[in-house]
Structure 1
Amino acid sequence: IDERGRAGFIRKVYLTFTLMLLFTVAFVAMCLVMPEINEFQLENIWLLIVVFIVAITVEIMIICCTSVSRSSPTNLILLGVFVICEAYIVGFICAFYSTELVLLSLALTTVAFIGMTIYAYTTDNDLTIWGGVLFGMLLFLLALIIISFFVRVKWLLIVILILGILLGLFLVAYDTQ
Protein backbone atom coordinates (compact mmCIF):
# COMPACT_ATOMS: atom_id res chain seq x y z
CA ILE A 1 0.00 0.00 0.00
CA ASP A 2 1.35 3.40 -0.91
CA GLU A 3 1.63 6.16 1.71
CA ARG A 4 -1.59 7.84 0.61
CA GLY A 5 -3.58 4.61 0.78
CA ARG A 6 -2.11 3.82 4.19
CA ALA A 7 -3.05 7.26 5.53
CA GLY A 8 -6.59 6.81 4.23
CA PHE A 9 -6.82 3.39 5.86
CA ILE A 10 -5.60 4.76 9.19
CA ARG A 11 -8.14 7.59 9.04
CA LYS A 12 -10.93 5.09 8.34
CA VAL A 13 -9.84 2.82 11.21
CA TYR A 14 -9.66 5.67 13.70
CA LEU A 15 -12.97 7.15 12.56
CA THR A 16 -14.57 3.74 13.08
CA PHE A 17 -12.99 3.42 16.54
CA THR A 18 -14.12 6.92 17.44
CA LEU A 19 -17.71 6.17 16.47
CA MET A 20 -17.62 2.88 18.39
CA LEU A 21 -16.26 4.62 21.49
CA LEU A 22 -18.80 7.43 21.25
CA PHE A 23 -21.69 4.98 21.08
CA THR A 24 -20.33 3.02 24.04
CA VAL A 25 -19.78 6.22 26.04
CA ALA A 26 -23.34 7.34 25.29
CA PHE A 27 -24.77 4.02 26.49
CA VAL A 28 -22.63 4.01 29.65
CA ALA A 29 -23.65 7.63 30.34
CA MET A 30 -27.30 6.57 30.10
CA CYS A 31 -26.59 3.76 32.57
CA LEU A 32 -24.95 6.24 34.97
CA VAL A 33 -27.75 8.82 34.92
CA MET A 34 -30.68 6.41 34.61
CA PRO A 35 -30.37 3.72 37.31
CA GLU A 36 -33.46 1.98 35.97
CA ILE A 37 -31.38 0.77 33.02
CA ASN A 38 -28.98 -1.01 35.37
CA GLU A 39 -31.91 -2.35 37.37
CA PHE A 40 -33.36 -3.76 34.14
CA GLN A 41 -30.00 -5.33 33.30
CA LEU A 42 -29.67 -6.90 36.75
CA GLU A 43 -33.25 -8.22 36.68
CA ASN A 44 -32.78 -9.72 33.19
CA ILE A 45 -29.46 -11.54 33.34
CA TRP A 46 -30.71 -13.82 30.57
CA LEU A 47 -30.47 -10.84 28.21
CA LEU A 48 -26.81 -10.34 29.13
CA ILE A 49 -26.16 -13.99 28.27
CA VAL A 50 -27.92 -13.57 24.91
CA VAL A 51 -25.91 -10.40 24.22
CA PHE A 52 -22.66 -12.25 25.05
CA ILE A 53 -23.58 -15.09 22.69
CA VAL A 54 -24.51 -12.67 19.90
CA ALA A 55 -21.28 -10.68 20.42
CA ILE A 56 -19.11 -13.80 20.30
CA THR A 57 -20.97 -15.16 17.27
CA VAL A 58 -20.59 -11.88 15.38
CA GLU A 59 -16.92 -11.65 16.36
CA ILE A 60 -16.28 -15.17 15.06
CA MET A 61 -18.11 -14.33 11.82
CA ILE A 62 -16.03 -11.18 11.33
CA ILE A 63 -12.74 -12.92 12.11
CA CYS A 64 -13.26 -16.27 10.41
CA CYS A 65 -15.49 -15.51 7.41
CA THR A 66 -13.54 -13.22 5.10
CA SER A 67 -16.37 -13.26 2.58
CA VAL A 68 -18.61 -11.72 5.25
CA SER A 69 -16.08 -9.36 6.80
CA ARG A 70 -15.01 -7.91 3.46
CA SER A 71 -18.41 -7.35 1.88
CA SER A 72 -20.19 -4.09 2.44
CA PRO A 73 -22.75 -3.40 3.94
CA THR A 74 -22.72 -6.80 5.70
CA ASN A 75 -19.47 -5.99 7.50
CA LEU A 76 -20.84 -2.65 8.70
CA ILE A 77 -24.07 -4.25 9.93
CA LEU A 78 -22.13 -6.91 11.84
CA LEU A 79 -19.83 -4.27 13.30
CA GLY A 80 -22.87 -2.26 14.39
CA VAL A 81 -24.42 -5.30 16.08
CA PHE A 82 -21.10 -6.04 17.79
CA VAL A 83 -20.78 -2.45 19.06
CA ILE A 84 -24.33 -2.48 20.43
CA CYS A 85 -23.63 -5.76 22.24
CA GLU A 86 -20.33 -4.52 23.66
CA ALA A 87 -21.89 -1.23 24.80
CA TYR A 88 -24.57 -3.20 26.65
CA ILE A 89 -21.91 -5.37 28.31
CA VAL A 90 -19.75 -2.37 29.27
CA GLY A 91 -22.81 -0.58 30.65
CA PHE A 92 -23.60 -3.65 32.75
CA ILE A 93 -20.04 -3.87 34.07
CA CYS A 94 -19.95 -0.15 34.92
CA ALA A 95 -22.92 -0.65 37.25
CA PHE A 96 -20.56 -2.41 39.66
CA TYR A 97 -18.07 0.47 39.87
CA SER A 98 -18.31 3.96 41.28
CA THR A 99 -19.31 6.77 38.97
CA GLU A 100 -16.00 8.44 39.86
CA LEU A 101 -13.98 5.46 38.57
CA VAL A 102 -16.08 5.20 35.41
CA LEU A 103 -15.61 8.93 34.69
CA LEU A 104 -11.86 8.61 35.35
CA SER A 105 -11.76 5.76 32.86
CA LEU A 106 -13.64 7.87 30.31
CA ALA A 107 -11.31 10.85 30.73
CA LEU A 108 -8.11 8.78 30.54
CA THR A 109 -9.35 6.81 27.54
CA THR A 110 -10.34 9.99 25.70
CA VAL A 111 -7.01 11.73 26.29
CA ALA A 112 -4.99 8.62 25.47
CA PHE A 113 -7.04 7.89 22.34
CA ILE A 114 -6.55 11.43 21.03
CA GLY A 115 -2.82 11.15 21.71
CA MET A 116 -2.56 7.76 20.01
CA THR A 117 -4.52 9.04 17.02
CA ILE A 118 -2.10 11.93 16.59
CA TYR A 119 0.83 9.54 16.98
CA ALA A 120 -0.55 7.03 14.46
CA TYR A 121 -1.06 9.81 11.91
CA THR A 122 2.43 11.24 12.29
CA THR A 123 4.80 8.37 13.11
CA ASP A 124 7.29 6.70 10.84
CA ASN A 125 8.27 4.21 13.57
CA ASP A 126 7.70 0.52 13.00
CA LEU A 127 5.64 -0.70 15.95
CA THR A 128 5.37 -4.29 14.74
CA ILE A 129 8.60 -5.24 16.57
CA TRP A 130 6.79 -4.71 19.90
CA GLY A 131 4.44 -7.70 19.54
CA GLY A 132 6.17 -9.83 22.18
CA VAL A 133 6.30 -7.00 24.70
CA LEU A 134 2.62 -6.22 24.17
CA PHE A 135 1.71 -9.88 24.68
CA GLY A 136 3.74 -9.94 27.91
CA MET A 137 1.96 -6.78 29.09
CA LEU A 138 -1.38 -8.42 28.28
CA LEU A 139 -0.50 -11.43 30.45
CA PHE A 140 0.64 -9.11 33.26
CA LEU A 141 -2.63 -7.18 33.06
CA LEU A 142 -4.59 -10.44 33.14
CA ALA A 143 -2.70 -11.47 36.30
CA LEU A 144 -3.53 -8.12 37.93
CA ILE A 145 -7.21 -8.54 37.04
CA ILE A 146 -7.27 -12.01 38.62
CA ILE A 147 -5.56 -10.63 41.75
CA SER A 148 -8.14 -7.83 41.91
CA PHE A 149 -10.91 -10.42 42.32
CA PHE A 150 -9.38 -11.37 45.67
CA VAL A 151 -7.77 -8.09 46.76
CA ARG A 152 -10.37 -5.32 46.45
CA VAL A 153 -8.41 -2.08 46.79
CA LYS A 154 -9.13 1.05 44.81
CA TRP A 155 -5.52 1.80 43.81
CA LEU A 156 -5.23 -1.63 42.16
CA LEU A 157 -8.35 -0.94 40.10
CA ILE A 158 -6.86 2.39 39.01
CA VAL A 159 -3.57 0.68 38.03
CA ILE A 160 -5.54 -1.92 36.03
CA LEU A 161 -7.55 0.87 34.44
CA ILE A 162 -4.48 2.82 33.34
CA LEU A 163 -2.58 -0.25 32.12
CA GLY A 164 -5.64 -1.52 30.28
CA ILE A 165 -6.15 1.77 28.49
CA LEU A 166 -2.48 2.08 27.54
CA LEU A 167 -2.23 -1.52 26.41
CA GLY A 168 -5.42 -1.22 24.37
CA LEU A 169 -4.16 1.88 22.64
CA PHE A 170 -0.76 0.39 21.87
CA LEU A 171 -2.46 -2.73 20.51
CA VAL A 172 -4.57 -0.52 18.23
CA ALA A 173 -1.45 1.24 16.94
CA TYR A 174 0.34 -2.12 16.58
CA ASP A 175 -2.56 -3.63 14.63
CA THR A 176 -2.90 -0.50 12.49
CA GLN A 177 0.63 -1.00 11.21
Structure 2
Amino acid sequence: MDLEVSEPIDFSSGDHQHLVRKAADPYTGGKSARSYGTAPSTQEPRQAHGNPHSRADRRADTYVVQISPETTTDDNNPGPFSETAVRRAFIVKVLFLLSIQLLITGAIVSLFVFWKALRSWVVKNPWFTYTLLPAFFVVFIVLACCGNLRRQVPANYILLGLFTVLQGLLLGTVSVFYHVEEVLWATAATALVTLSLSLFALQTKWDFTLLNGMLFVLIFVLIIYGIILIFIQAYWLHLLYAGLGTVIFSLYLVMDVQLMVGGRHHHSDLDPEEYVFAALNIYMDIINLFLFILQLIGMGR
Protein backbone atom coordinates (compact mmCIF):
# COMPACT_ATOMS: atom_id res chain seq x y z
CA MET A 1 0.00 0.00 0.00
CA ASP A 2 1.48 3.36 -1.02
CA LEU A 3 0.99 6.56 0.98
CA GLU A 4 1.00 10.00 -0.57
CA VAL A 5 0.74 13.43 1.05
CA SER A 6 -2.09 15.67 -0.11
CA GLU A 7 -4.89 17.58 1.58
CA PRO A 8 -4.50 18.03 5.34
CA ILE A 9 -6.68 16.07 7.68
CA ASP A 10 -7.56 17.39 11.12
CA PHE A 11 -7.15 14.45 13.50
CA SER A 12 -8.90 16.32 16.30
CA SER A 13 -12.13 16.60 14.29
CA GLY A 14 -12.57 12.86 13.76
CA ASP A 15 -11.67 12.84 10.04
CA HIS A 16 -9.04 10.19 10.70
CA GLN A 17 -11.79 7.69 11.52
CA HIS A 18 -13.05 7.92 7.95
CA LEU A 19 -9.49 7.50 6.74
CA VAL A 20 -9.00 4.36 8.84
CA ARG A 21 -12.21 2.84 7.51
CA LYS A 22 -11.17 3.69 3.99
CA ALA A 23 -7.80 2.01 4.45
CA ALA A 24 -9.40 -1.08 6.01
CA ASP A 25 -12.02 -1.59 3.26
CA PRO A 26 -9.73 -3.49 0.78
CA TYR A 27 -8.83 -5.96 3.54
CA THR A 28 -12.21 -6.51 5.19
CA GLY A 29 -14.46 -6.01 2.17
CA GLY A 30 -12.09 -7.68 -0.26
CA LYS A 31 -11.64 -10.68 2.01
CA SER A 32 -15.35 -11.20 2.36
CA ALA A 33 -15.83 -10.90 -1.41
CA ARG A 34 -13.26 -13.59 -2.03
CA SER A 35 -14.76 -15.80 0.65
CA TYR A 36 -18.35 -15.64 -0.60
CA GLY A 37 -17.73 -15.27 -4.32
CA THR A 38 -17.51 -18.05 -6.94
CA ALA A 39 -14.54 -20.33 -6.92
CA PRO A 40 -11.80 -19.10 -9.21
CA SER A 41 -10.48 -21.27 -12.03
CA THR A 42 -7.22 -23.07 -11.68
CA GLN A 43 -5.55 -20.82 -14.27
CA GLU A 44 -6.22 -17.53 -12.49
CA PRO A 45 -3.76 -18.07 -9.66
CA ARG A 46 -1.02 -18.82 -12.15
CA GLN A 47 -1.75 -15.60 -14.03
CA ALA A 48 -1.79 -13.64 -10.82
CA HIS A 49 1.42 -15.30 -9.72
CA GLY A 50 3.19 -14.87 -12.98
CA ASN A 51 2.20 -11.29 -13.85
CA PRO A 52 2.83 -8.23 -11.62
CA HIS A 53 0.07 -5.83 -10.68
CA SER A 54 -0.80 -3.28 -13.31
CA ARG A 55 -0.35 0.45 -12.69
CA ALA A 56 -4.10 0.91 -12.25
CA ASP A 57 -4.26 -1.85 -9.59
CA ARG A 58 -1.35 -0.32 -7.71
CA ARG A 59 -2.99 3.09 -7.95
CA ALA A 60 -6.18 1.68 -6.41
CA ASP A 61 -4.21 0.68 -3.30
CA THR A 62 -2.77 4.18 -2.88
CA TYR A 63 -4.25 6.27 -0.08
CA VAL A 64 -3.66 9.90 0.76
CA VAL A 65 -2.49 10.87 4.22
CA GLN A 66 -1.20 14.25 5.36
CA ILE A 67 -0.56 15.19 8.96
CA SER A 68 -0.88 18.91 9.41
CA PRO A 69 1.20 20.48 12.21
CA GLU A 70 -0.82 21.64 15.15
CA THR A 71 0.04 22.81 18.57
CA THR A 72 -0.95 20.66 21.49
CA THR A 73 -2.60 22.04 24.56
CA ASP A 74 -0.01 20.39 26.81
CA ASP A 75 2.72 22.74 25.58
CA ASN A 76 0.57 25.82 26.16
CA ASN A 77 -0.88 25.25 29.59
CA PRO A 78 -2.65 28.47 30.60
CA GLY A 79 -1.51 29.85 33.93
CA PRO A 80 -3.75 31.09 36.73
CA PHE A 81 -3.46 34.65 35.35
CA SER A 82 -4.30 33.72 31.73
CA GLU A 83 -7.21 36.16 31.82
CA THR A 84 -6.50 39.87 32.16
CA ALA A 85 -9.48 40.36 34.47
CA VAL A 86 -8.05 37.87 36.99
CA ARG A 87 -4.70 39.67 37.11
CA ARG A 88 -6.41 43.06 37.39
CA ALA A 89 -8.59 41.89 40.29
CA PHE A 90 -5.50 40.46 42.00
CA ILE A 91 -3.59 43.77 41.70
CA VAL A 92 -6.57 45.75 43.00
CA LYS A 93 -6.85 43.49 46.07
CA VAL A 94 -3.12 43.75 46.80
CA LEU A 95 -3.04 47.55 46.47
CA PHE A 96 -6.18 47.93 48.58
CA LEU A 97 -4.79 45.78 51.40
CA LEU A 98 -1.42 47.53 51.18
CA SER A 99 -3.07 50.96 51.44
CA ILE A 100 -5.04 49.90 54.52
CA GLN A 101 -1.88 48.51 56.13
CA LEU A 102 0.09 51.69 55.53
CA LEU A 103 -2.73 53.88 56.85
CA ILE A 104 -3.01 51.82 60.05
CA THR A 105 0.75 51.81 60.52
CA GLY A 106 1.01 55.55 59.95
CA ALA A 107 -1.77 56.25 62.46
CA ILE A 108 -0.13 54.11 65.15
CA VAL A 109 3.33 55.59 64.59
CA SER A 110 1.86 59.10 64.75
CA LEU A 111 0.64 58.41 68.30
CA PHE A 112 4.15 57.51 69.43
CA VAL A 113 5.71 60.45 67.62
CA PHE A 114 3.40 63.28 68.68
CA TRP A 115 2.15 62.03 72.07
CA LYS A 116 4.89 63.06 74.45
CA ALA A 117 3.51 61.14 77.43
CA LEU A 118 3.45 57.93 75.41
CA ARG A 119 7.00 58.55 74.22
CA SER A 120 8.21 58.91 77.79
CA TRP A 121 6.32 55.82 78.92
CA VAL A 122 7.84 53.64 76.18
CA VAL A 123 11.35 54.83 77.03
CA LYS A 124 10.84 54.03 80.72
CA ASN A 125 9.22 50.63 80.07
CA PRO A 126 11.35 48.59 77.66
CA TRP A 127 9.41 45.44 78.56
CA PHE A 128 6.64 46.70 76.24
CA THR A 129 8.92 46.30 73.21
CA TYR A 130 10.22 42.93 74.39
CA THR A 131 6.65 41.69 74.74
CA LEU A 132 5.70 42.75 71.22
CA LEU A 133 8.63 41.00 69.54
CA PRO A 134 7.64 37.34 70.14
CA ALA A 135 3.99 38.01 69.24
CA PHE A 136 5.09 39.75 66.05
CA PHE A 137 7.34 36.90 64.93
CA VAL A 138 4.69 34.24 65.72
CA VAL A 139 2.09 35.95 63.52
CA PHE A 140 4.68 36.59 60.82
CA ILE A 141 5.74 32.93 60.72
CA VAL A 142 2.12 31.78 60.56
CA LEU A 143 1.42 34.09 57.62
CA ALA A 144 4.62 33.15 55.83
CA CYS A 145 4.48 29.37 56.32
CA CYS A 146 0.79 28.43 56.53
CA GLY A 147 -0.30 28.79 52.92
CA ASN A 148 -3.75 27.25 53.41
CA LEU A 149 -4.52 29.53 56.35
CA ARG A 150 -3.62 32.75 54.57
CA ARG A 151 -5.98 31.78 51.72
CA GLN A 152 -8.97 31.25 54.02
CA VAL A 153 -11.36 34.13 54.57
CA PRO A 154 -11.69 35.71 57.13
CA ALA A 155 -8.68 34.11 58.88
CA ASN A 156 -6.24 35.70 56.41
CA TYR A 157 -7.66 39.19 56.99
CA ILE A 158 -7.61 38.75 60.76
CA LEU A 159 -3.99 37.60 60.75
CA LEU A 160 -2.95 40.36 58.38
CA GLY A 161 -4.69 42.98 60.51
CA LEU A 162 -3.08 41.64 63.69
CA PHE A 163 0.31 41.61 62.03
CA THR A 164 -0.15 45.21 60.83
CA VAL A 165 -1.06 46.43 64.32
CA LEU A 166 1.94 44.67 65.88
CA GLN A 167 4.24 46.08 63.19
CA GLY A 168 2.88 49.57 63.80
CA LEU A 169 3.46 49.25 67.55
CA LEU A 170 7.03 48.08 66.98
CA LEU A 171 7.70 50.97 64.62
CA GLY A 172 6.26 53.30 67.22
CA THR A 173 8.64 52.00 69.90
CA VAL A 174 11.55 52.54 67.50
CA SER A 175 10.47 56.05 66.47
CA VAL A 176 10.48 57.36 70.06
CA PHE A 177 14.30 57.28 69.99
CA TYR A 178 14.38 59.71 67.04
CA HIS A 179 13.35 63.32 66.72
CA VAL A 180 10.01 64.15 65.18
CA GLU A 181 11.68 65.86 62.22
CA GLU A 182 13.79 62.78 61.51
CA VAL A 183 10.73 60.53 61.46
CA LEU A 184 8.87 62.90 59.15
CA TRP A 185 11.84 63.18 56.79
CA ALA A 186 12.22 59.41 56.74
CA THR A 187 8.50 59.01 55.99
CA ALA A 188 8.65 61.47 53.11
CA ALA A 189 11.82 59.89 51.70
CA THR A 190 10.32 56.39 51.93
CA ALA A 191 7.15 57.49 50.15
CA LEU A 192 9.19 59.12 47.37
CA VAL A 193 11.50 56.12 46.96
CA THR A 194 8.58 53.66 46.99
CA LEU A 195 6.68 55.59 44.34
CA SER A 196 9.77 55.99 42.14
CA LEU A 197 10.79 52.34 42.39
CA SER A 198 7.24 51.13 41.72
CA LEU A 199 7.03 53.20 38.53
CA PHE A 200 10.49 51.97 37.55
CA ALA A 201 9.42 48.35 38.11
CA LEU A 202 6.40 48.83 35.86
CA GLN A 203 8.29 50.54 33.03
CA THR A 204 11.69 48.87 32.92
CA LYS A 205 12.53 45.99 30.60
CA TRP A 206 14.88 44.49 33.19
CA ASP A 207 13.51 41.41 34.90
CA PHE A 208 14.31 41.74 38.62
CA THR A 209 12.41 38.54 39.47
CA LEU A 210 15.53 36.63 38.40
CA LEU A 211 17.38 38.16 41.39
CA ASN A 212 15.31 36.29 43.96
CA GLY A 213 18.07 33.83 44.92
CA MET A 214 20.77 36.48 45.11
CA LEU A 215 18.66 38.79 47.30
CA PHE A 216 17.85 35.89 49.61
CA VAL A 217 21.57 35.35 50.17
CA LEU A 218 22.14 39.08 50.74
CA ILE A 219 19.45 39.08 53.43
CA PHE A 220 21.38 36.44 55.38
CA VAL A 221 24.57 38.48 54.98
CA LEU A 222 22.72 41.55 56.26
CA ILE A 223 21.40 39.65 59.29
CA ILE A 224 24.88 38.38 60.21
CA TYR A 225 26.28 41.88 59.69
CA GLY A 226 23.64 43.30 62.05
CA ILE A 227 24.45 40.74 64.75
CA ILE A 228 28.13 41.67 64.56
CA LEU A 229 27.27 45.38 64.94
CA ILE A 230 25.65 44.63 68.31
CA PHE A 231 29.14 44.06 69.70
CA ILE A 232 31.03 46.60 67.55
CA GLN A 233 30.08 50.24 68.00
CA ALA A 234 31.58 51.92 64.94
CA TYR A 235 29.88 54.83 63.15
CA TRP A 236 31.05 53.94 59.64
CA LEU A 237 30.09 50.29 60.03
CA HIS A 238 26.58 51.29 61.09
CA LEU A 239 26.37 53.74 58.21
CA LEU A 240 27.44 51.03 55.77
CA TYR A 241 24.88 48.66 57.30
CA ALA A 242 22.05 51.17 56.82
CA GLY A 243 23.12 51.89 53.25
CA LEU A 244 23.36 48.20 52.36
CA GLY A 245 19.93 47.51 53.85
CA THR A 246 18.42 50.39 51.87
CA VAL A 247 19.80 49.01 48.61
CA ILE A 248 18.72 45.42 49.30
CA PHE A 249 15.13 46.29 50.20
CA SER A 250 14.89 48.70 47.29
CA LEU A 251 15.69 45.77 44.99
CA TYR A 252 13.21 43.61 46.89
CA LEU A 253 10.52 46.23 46.37
CA VAL A 254 11.12 46.30 42.61
CA MET A 255 11.09 42.50 42.44
CA ASP A 256 7.87 42.13 44.46
CA VAL A 257 6.09 44.76 42.36
CA GLN A 258 7.06 42.87 39.20
CA LEU A 259 5.87 39.62 40.77
CA MET A 260 2.53 41.28 41.47
CA VAL A 261 1.97 42.73 38.00
CA GLY A 262 3.33 39.60 36.25
CA GLY A 263 3.24 39.85 32.45
CA ARG A 264 6.55 39.50 30.66
CA HIS A 265 8.59 38.78 33.77
CA HIS A 266 10.17 35.34 34.12
CA HIS A 267 8.94 34.41 37.60
CA SER A 268 5.35 35.57 37.92
CA ASP A 269 3.76 32.40 39.19
CA LEU A 270 1.82 33.72 42.19
CA ASP A 271 -1.57 32.18 42.77
CA PRO A 272 -4.60 34.50 42.44
CA GLU A 273 -5.56 33.58 46.01
CA GLU A 274 -2.18 34.79 47.34
CA TYR A 275 -3.16 38.47 47.46
CA VAL A 276 -2.52 38.56 51.23
CA PHE A 277 0.97 37.12 50.74
CA ALA A 278 1.74 39.61 47.96
CA ALA A 279 0.53 42.54 50.06
CA LEU A 280 2.58 41.28 53.01
CA ASN A 281 5.76 41.12 50.89
CA ILE A 282 5.44 44.66 49.56
CA TYR A 283 4.44 45.98 52.99
CA MET A 284 7.53 44.46 54.61
CA ASP A 285 9.72 45.92 51.87
CA ILE A 286 8.37 49.41 52.55
CA ILE A 287 8.68 49.07 56.34
CA ASN A 288 12.27 47.84 56.20
CA LEU A 289 13.11 50.55 53.70
CA PHE A 290 11.68 53.11 56.14
CA LEU A 291 13.74 51.73 59.03
CA PHE A 292 17.04 51.87 57.10
CA ILE A 293 16.33 55.34 55.73
CA LEU A 294 15.49 56.46 59.28
CA GLN A 295 18.86 55.16 60.45
CA LEU A 296 20.64 57.02 57.64
CA ILE A 297 18.88 60.27 58.45
CA GLY A 298 19.48 59.83 62.19
CA MET A 299 23.21 59.25 61.71
CA GLY A 300 23.40 62.11 59.22
CA ARG A 301 22.00 64.57 61.72
CA distance in 2, matches of 1:64, 1:6: 24
1:126 aligns with 2:207: yes
CA distance in 2, matches of 1:144, 1:62: 24
CA distance in 2, matches of 1:161, 1:101: 15
What are the ranges of 5 or more consecutive residues in structure 1 without an aligned counterpart? none
State the SS of the aligned residue for 1:72: coil
Q: For this pair of structures, how many residues does the alignment match?
A: 175
What are the ranges of 5 or more consecutive residues in structure 2 without an aligned counterpart? 1-80, 260-301
State the SS of the aligned residue for 1:150: coil
1:4-15 mapped onto 2 (5 Å cutoff): 4=84, 5-15=86-96
For residues 112-140 of structure 1, what are the alpha-carbon distances to aligned partners after superposition, in whole Å with 9 as ceiling and x for unaligned? 11123334444554222122442455356
Partner of 1:27: 108
Change (3 A) 1:145 1:100: farther
Match of 2:191 among 110, 127, 130: 110
For residues 63-117 of structure 1, what are the alpha-carbon distances to aligned partners after superposition, in whole Å with 9 as ceiling and x for unaligned? 2222321111111111111111111111111112233332222111101111233
State the SS of the aligned residue for 1:96: coil
CA distance in 1, matches of 2:101, 2:249: 14
Contact 2:122–2:128 (Cα < 8 Å) also in 1: yes
Q: Which has the higher relative contact order, 1 or 2, with Cα contacts under 8 A spaced 6 or more apart? A: 1
Query: Which structure: larger Rg?
Result: 2
CA distance in 1, matches of 2:227, 2:248: 14
Contact 1:10–1:121 (Cα < 8 Å) also in 2: no
Contact 2:201–2:255 (Cα < 8 Å) also in 1: no
1:57 aligns with 2:145: no
Q: Normalising by structure 2, what TM-score?
A: 0.49
AA matched with 1:72: V
AA matched with 2:171: V
CA distance in 2, matches of 1:124, 1:151: 40
Could you say what the CA RMSD is over the residues aligned between the two structures, in angstroms? 2.9
AA matched with 2:234: V
